[in-house]
């Protein structure tokens, strides 16, 4: 079992080139199976979730090879089934459903079930796919999906702008017969990136990145070479690490526009930011200030994926911050570990009240989920003394060699 051991309190300084986005790479890997030709995806992060997506592609009969940060996908899916073990390995594997239906017209796969963040319902995905002509039968946690009369476009209104449902609908719609009009679609930058890839492959999509997306189904898609967008949550994590250590970082190969919401909060905390379209300079000015009220919201609101990470910094900010989590039911699991490190946090339902302390103290803690684990990394960098983080497989799902990145800017961190 691996762990990270951090000697806290080192000021971070230097340049970091930000990795590609996990949440964009995963749906684009699924999209690649819609294409007749080969796709070459550049800037793909080396992550356990990306490896799991490649295994899913292999299991349905596609070729998928990763060399460095480039993944080459080719071949046609032939097996309309995703093995249960692979479904369990990565919850977001449900994203393959829309693509499999688009290409093969049928798919059998395990129900994704709950996860660390609480229940992960897929009712919005399924009801949208039903409107597009998909017949779905559930038996003992297995979903049997087929399209007896073919897949067709439909008017779909999402009750909530779910990221995964928007992606699944896009993936199913690009090869479906006729027009799909999706309203109240998710507007996350990763949706725009997925649409960017599909457009380059020959899809007909308008409005991705806004709440109404129109798709005209086409007969076939070709592969293409595409560069995965930078990871905005990883960018936020390194900014948080600079903030908590009183440091100064320049983040390169990032996308400042996708960080709206996060940069505002860091400035409210007394951080100084300047940016070009693809770089962000950030320096922390002590003392850090509390943030009066922070509420997670669908994009362009403050992202739920950055909540734990920013909370770690607020633990050492002067004053009281109130954080409301509106997206997931169970997204304060990092709080216990932060409190072990000396944080003063009270949780009531979906609200956490953080009273800043002068300094966190190093401790033995365990990552409970991906972003909660990243929050412990940030807290450990700012704490006094040694922090050991176990269960770091959660962190490896989303961060490509984080210890190397952090060491390159002055952190004392080892993977043991």
Considering only the stretches 114-122, 142-150, 221-229, 279-287, report the one whose residues sit in contact with ligand UD1 under the rule CB under 6 A.
114-122
- The Cα 132–Cα 81 span in angstroms is 20
Residues 163-182 that bind ligand UD1 (CB under 6 A): 163-165
Q: What angle do CA 119, 322, 237 make, to 5 degrees?
A: 70
- The Cα 36–Cα 48 span in angstroms is 27
Q: 384: closest CA among 285, 308, 315, 320?
A: 315
DSSP string of 132-194, one letter each residue: TT-EEEEETTEEEEE-TT--B--EEE-SS--HHHHHHHHHHHTTSBSEEEEES----HHHHHH
Q: With respect to ligand UD1, which residue has the nearer C-beta, 312 or 327?
A: 327
**160 burial class (0-12, 13-18, 19+ CB within 10 angstroms)?**
exposed
Site string for ligand UD1, 85-104 (x = CB under 6 A): -------x------------
Contact between 372 and ligand UD1 per CB under 6 A: no
Out of 327, 345, 360, 363, the only residue in the binding site for ligand UD1 (CB under 6 A) is: 327
Cα distance between the two ends of the chain = 9
Out of 11, 46, 55, 120, the only residue in the binding site for ligand UD1 (CB under 6 A) is: 120
Cβ distance 81 to 93 under 8 Å? no
Structure tokens, 120? 């992960």
Question: In the bound complex, what is the minimum distance in angstroms from residue 187's beta carbon to ligand UD1?
Answer: 11
**Does the N-terminal peptide bond of residue 100 adopt cis geometry, omega within 30 degrees of 0?**
no
Residues 1-30 that bind ligand UD1 (CB under 6 A): 23, 26
Contact between 342 and ligand UD1 per CB under 6 A: no
Contact between 160 and ligand UD1 per CB under 6 A: yes
Name, in order, each residue with C-beta under 8 angstroms of 264's C-beta and a sequence gap of 6 or more.
none
Structure tokens, 275? 């940016």
Q: Tell me how many residues contact ligand UD1 (CB under 6 A).
A: 20
Considering only the stretches 138-146, 269-277, 302-310, 337-345, report the one whose residues sit in contact with ligand UD1 under the rule CB under 6 A.
302-310
Name, in order, each residue with C-beta under 8 angstroms of 385's C-beta and a sequence gap of 6 or more.
7, 8, 9, 361, 362
Q: With respect to ligand UD1, which residue has the nearer C-beta, 120 or 350?
A: 120
- The Cα 259–Cα 54 span in angstroms is 28
Out of 4, 197, 302, 328, the only residue in the binding site for ligand UD1 (CB under 6 A) is: 328
Q: Is 115 a catalytic residue?
A: yes
35, 54, 62, 115: which is the annotated catalytic residue? 115
- The Cα 108–Cα 101 span in angstroms is 10
Question: In the bound complex, what is the minimum distance in angstroms from residue 379's beta carbon to ligand UD1?
Answer: 20
Name, in order, each residue with C-beta under 8 angstroms of 237's C-beta and a sequence gap of 6 or more.
306, 309, 374, 377, 378, 399
Q: With respect to ligand UD1, which residue has the nearer C-beta, 288 or 377?
A: 377
Residue nearest to ligand UD1 (CB): 164
Q: With respect to ligand UD1, which residue has the nearer C-beta, 160 or 210?
A: 160
Beta bridge partners of 71: 41, 66
Site string for ligand UD1, 259-278 (x = CB under 6 A): --------------------
Cβ distance 191 to 169 under 8 Å? no
Considering only the stretches 35-43, 159-167, 201-209, 375-383, report the one whose residues sit in contact with ligand UD1 under the rule CB under 6 A.
159-167
- The Cα 242–Cα 244 span in angstroms is 6
For 70, how many CA atoms within 13 A lie in the half-sphere containing its CB? Answer: 9
Considering only the stretches 2-10, 157-165, 201-209, 306-314, report the one whose residues sit in contact with ligand UD1 under the rule CB under 6 A.
157-165
Considering only the stretches 115-123, 144-152, 317-325, 346-354, report the one whose residues sit in contact with ligand UD1 under the rule CB under 6 A.
115-123
Out of 124, 174, 269, 288, the only residue in the binding site for ligand UD1 (CB under 6 A) is: 124
Out of 36, 123, 222, 414, the only residue in the binding site for ligand UD1 (CB under 6 A) is: 123
Q: With respect to ligand UD1, which residue has the nearer C-beta, 186 or 392?
A: 186
Out of 162, 254, 307, 387, the only residue in the binding site for ligand UD1 (CB under 6 A) is: 162
Question: Which residues belong to the active site?
Answer: 115
- Contacts to ligand UD1 by CB under 6 A: 23, 26, 92, 120-125, 160, 162-165, 186, 303-305, 327-328
């Amino acid at each position: 079992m691996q762990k990270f051991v951090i000697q806290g309190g080192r000021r971070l300084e230097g340049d970091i080139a930000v990795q590609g986005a996990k949440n964009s790479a995963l749906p684009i890997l699924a999209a690649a199976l819609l294409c007749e030709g080969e796709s070459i995806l550049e800037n793909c992060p080396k992550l356990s979730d990306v490896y799991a997506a490649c295994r899913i592609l292999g299991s349905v009969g596609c070729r998928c090879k990763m060399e460095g940060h480039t993944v080459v996908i080719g071949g046609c899916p032939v097996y309309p089934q995703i093995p249960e073990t692979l479904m369990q390995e990565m919850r977001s594997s449900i994203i393959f459903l829309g693509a499999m239906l688009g290409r093969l017209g049928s798919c059998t796969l395990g129900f994704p079930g709950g996860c660390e963040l609480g229940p992960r319902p897929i009712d919005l995905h399924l009801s949208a796919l039903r409107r597009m002509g998909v017949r779905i039968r559930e038996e003992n946690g297995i979903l049997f999906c087929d399209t007896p009369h073919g897949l067709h476009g439909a008017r779909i209104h999402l009750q909530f702008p779910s990221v995964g449902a928007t992606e699944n609908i896009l993936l199913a719609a690009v090869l479906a017969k006729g027009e799909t009009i999706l309203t109240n679609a998710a507007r996350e930058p990763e949706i725009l990136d997925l649409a960017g890839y599909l457009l380059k492959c020959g899809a007909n999509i308008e409005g991705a990145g806004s709440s109404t997306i129109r798709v005209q189904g086409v007969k076939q898609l070709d592969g293409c070479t595409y560069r995965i967008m930078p990871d905005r949550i990883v960018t936020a994590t390194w900014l948080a690490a600079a903030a908590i250590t009183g440091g100064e970082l320049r983040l390169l190969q990032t996308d400042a526009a996708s960080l709206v919401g996060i940069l505002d909060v860091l400035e409210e905390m007394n951080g100084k930011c300047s940016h070009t379209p693809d770089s962000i300079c950030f320096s922390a000015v002590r003392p850090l200030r509390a943030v009066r009220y922070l509420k997670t919201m669908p994009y362009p609101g403050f992202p739920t994926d950055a909540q734990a990470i920013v909370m770690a910094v607020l633990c050492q900010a002067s004053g009281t911050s109130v954080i409301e989590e509106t997206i997931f039911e169970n997204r304060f699991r990092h709080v216990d570990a932060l409190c072990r490190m000396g944080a003063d946090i009270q949780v009531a339902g979906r609200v956490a009240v953080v009273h800043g302390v002068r300094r966190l103290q190093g401790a033995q803690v365990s990552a409970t989920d991906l972003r909660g684990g990243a929050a412990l990394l940030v807290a450990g960098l700012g704490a006094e003394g040694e922090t050991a983080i176990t269960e770091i497989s959660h962190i490896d799902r989303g961060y490509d060699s984080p210890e190397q990145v952090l060491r390159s800017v002055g952190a004392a961190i080892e993977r043991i």
